[in-house]
Amino acid sequence: MTVPASPFWSPAIRGLHAYVPGEQPQGEGWIKLNTNESPYPPSPRALAAIRAAADERLRLYPDPQSLALRQTVASRFGLEAAQVFVGNGSDEVLALAFMALLRHQRPVLFPDITYSFYPVYANLYGAAFEQVPLDPQFAVRVADYERPNGGILLPNPNAPTGVALPLADIRALLRAHPTSVVVIDEAYVDFGAESAAALVPEFPNLLVVQTLSKSRALAGLRVGFALGQAALIEALTVVKDSFNSYPLDRLAQAGAQAALADEAHFEHTRQQTIASREWLAAALAARGFACLPSCANFLFVAHPDHPAAGLMQALRERRILVRHFRQPRIDNHLRITIGTQAECERLVAAIDEVLA
Ligand code: PMP
């Protein structure tokens, strides 16, 4: 049920609509391919570190600077701790970036088909924004961003399409807009796109945002981070400290640090996801689906003869959840998260039943 706005609400929020994430079903037996979580468990080392941190020290506030975690992230990318910001999921990092860096007279630019949180944040924080259409192949064309702007925000790979931008394009964008902050949201970068993290020392206007929710299988821990030169990181810190100086709890700091140190687990689950993605893309193409080339842990697909809304419902009746967006140009597409290989095979069997 939606509760209507009331006169008690601040006028500025009366027109807002909350972001509606994909369904989190109750009960067992669902194959959940709708919110791009990892189908694999997190690193056992992360779980052990979380358990070890759950002791009497919980009466104490956590390190407000998350310094040990920031140092771990920094060393992974050849940066300094002052070039790393950590937050409660990359959603929080992005929210802070909107507040601290993307609210200018000129509009922040982001694609028209992209992570649906961006317009929600822009509206919430009163940031002017303009959405730039994707090209006919659903790709971002950086030349289309050659217009006056107060910042640029691009997910790479994009969501929900999975289409990635080459690093050369991001470099060109950074060069073409030296006075704008360019935020690259790399939530899915580990599944096959090129990270812009290596460009941080070269470009003072670059902020790279990543998360432990996808390739590290820790969506439930809520840890994301940003990489950038110290001036951008400081802007995020100033805003964060002004409303909650403890964004990461003790368990999250400990678990995230251990997860980032477990390279073998990361590499194994990442490769499994990529292999299943390629298998599923081929299986769906063989059944007549058009599949965008994906560098993410999901596929964005459409069938010429079977409307997406009906397919989603038919799969739901078989206890398989996939994501459908009621949005112009993509309302005949489904976004399907890559599950385990067994889950992908059950999905294809269900699709065979539905298409029969
Ligand atoms: N960016 C993109 C493009 C996403 O799809 C998501 C997850 N839905 C996020 C950021 C946020 O992820 P989290 O807050 O779990 O780090």
pTM of the model: 0.97
DSSP-derived secondary structure letter, 72: H
Q: What is the DSSP string of 91-139?
A: HHHHHHHHHHHS-SSSPEEEESSS-THHHHHHHHTT--EEEEPP-TTS-
3-state secondary structure of 299: strand
ipTM: 0.99
- The answer to whether the CB of 89 is under 6 A from ligand 1 is yes
Residues whose CB is less than 8 angstroms from the CB of residue 189 and which lie 6 or more positions away in sequence, other chains included: 156, 157, 195, 210, 295
Q: Which of 86, 92, 117, 295 to mutate to test the pocket of ligand 1 (most atoms within 8 A of CB)?
A: 117
- The answer to whether the CB of 195 is under 6 A from ligand 1 is no
Residue with tokens 């924080």: 125
- Ligand 1 centre to CA of 305 (Å) is 31
DSSP-derived secondary structure letter, 319: T
Cα dihedral 318, 319, 322, 323 in deg (nearest 10) = 110
Residue with tokens 């935020």: 183
- Asked whether 103 and 125 are in contact (CB, 8 A), the reply is yes
Residue 292: which of 198, 155, 127, 164 has the closest Cα?
Answer: 164
How many angstroms separate the CA atoms of 268 and 56, rounded?
A: 34
Query: What are the chain's domains?
Result: 24-41+264-355 (3.90.1150.10), 44-261 (3.40.640.10)
Burial call 33-58: b when 16+ CB within 10 Å, e when fewer: bbbbbbbbebbebbeebbeebeeeee
- Asked whether 32 and 298 are in contact (CB, 8 A), the reply is no
- The answer to whether the CB of 114 is under 6 A from ligand 1 is no
pLDDT in tens, the chain (356 residues): 578 889 999 988 888 877 777 888 888 899 999 999 999 999 999 999 999 999 999 999 999 999 999 999 999 999 999 999 999 999 999 999 999 999 999 999 999 999 999 999 999 999 999 999 999 999 999 999 999 999 999 999 999 999 999 999 999 999 999 999 999 999 999 999 999 999 999 999 999 999 999 999 999 999 999 999 999 999 999 999 887 888 899 999 999 999 999 999 999 999 999 999 999 999 999 999 999 999 999 999 999 999 999 999 999 999 999 999 999 999 999 999 999 999 999 999 999 999 99
